Amino acid sequence: MSSGVLGLSLVHWSIYSTVFDLPSVLSRLVGLGYSVGRAQFVGGDVVVEYLVDEAMNNVVAKRRFENDTIRVLYDGGRRAIGVMGGSKDSLTVGLAELYRALSESKVPEPQVTELLVSYTDRLTVCPDRSIEFGNLKLQQRGLTLMWGEPQGKSLYIVITPVSSDRSLVMIGARGEWGFTIDVLRQIGDLIVGIRKLDCSQAQGHPRST
């Protein structure tokens, strides 16, 4: 990962849009070393008691992994469960453990998933830009680089300047499980590709990192 990248955060959501057996999932995460909140069925719905966490207010489980904390999130409005990590490695481990807990609880694979990545980097983006990622070409739509459709299978990048030489980068992927996991596997390559949008590099004056 480029030394210019700061504040990397990755979240992967599995969106069910209907009630699933969250209490069973949490009980299985306990067996994998997680601290968990409480969840129970009340009148056909799930009532959740979240963990107290300094970073997020919707954490239902967490555990330490190397120098990071893996957090499992729950969004009651979307009936979605997510994993949050500060690195690709920690998110990958958390996803594998959540997938195991979902499978053991007989919760089916979600039809829709989302991957959300954010960080800041040393770049100032030139206008009229596009980027290729695998066989996908993301074209500029307003302030967004995008492939696909917003409410369907899609990949987008939003780059917002936060200082004279740094920008906030937000990457989003939406689609079936295999699509978002494939983007996650190649996230390092995508971050490198985004750096090539830097105006100083395009003008032949690469920044030092």
Listed by start position, the domains of the chain span 17-109, 114-202
Please, which pLDDT band fits residue 169 given cuts at 50, 70 and 90?
A: very high
**Cα 38 to Cα 25: distance, rounded to the nearest angstrom:** 11
Please, which pLDDT band fits residue 140 given cuts at 50, 70 and 90?
A: confident
| pLDDT value of position 2 | 55
| pLDDT value of position 180 | 97
| pLDDT value of position 108 | 94
| pLDDT value of position 123 | 83
**51 phi and psi angles, rounded to 5 deg:** -75, 150
Q: Residue 179 is inside which H or E element, if any?
A: helix 177-185
Please, which pLDDT band fits residue 128 given cuts at 50, 70 and 90?
A: low
> Which pairing describes strands 136-141 and 45-49: parallel, antiparallel, or unpaired?
unpaired
| Token pair belonging to 130 | 């596009």
In Å, what is the CA distance from 19 to each residue of 43, 46, 57?
11, 7, 20
Cβ-count burial of 21 within 10 angstroms (0-12 exposed, 13-18 middle, 19+ buried)? middle
| pLDDT value of position 106 | 97
0.75 exceeded by pTM: yes
Residue 26, pLDDT > 50, answer: yes
Higher pLDDT, 164 or 26: 26
Residues 183-192: tens digit of each pLDDT: 999 999 999 9
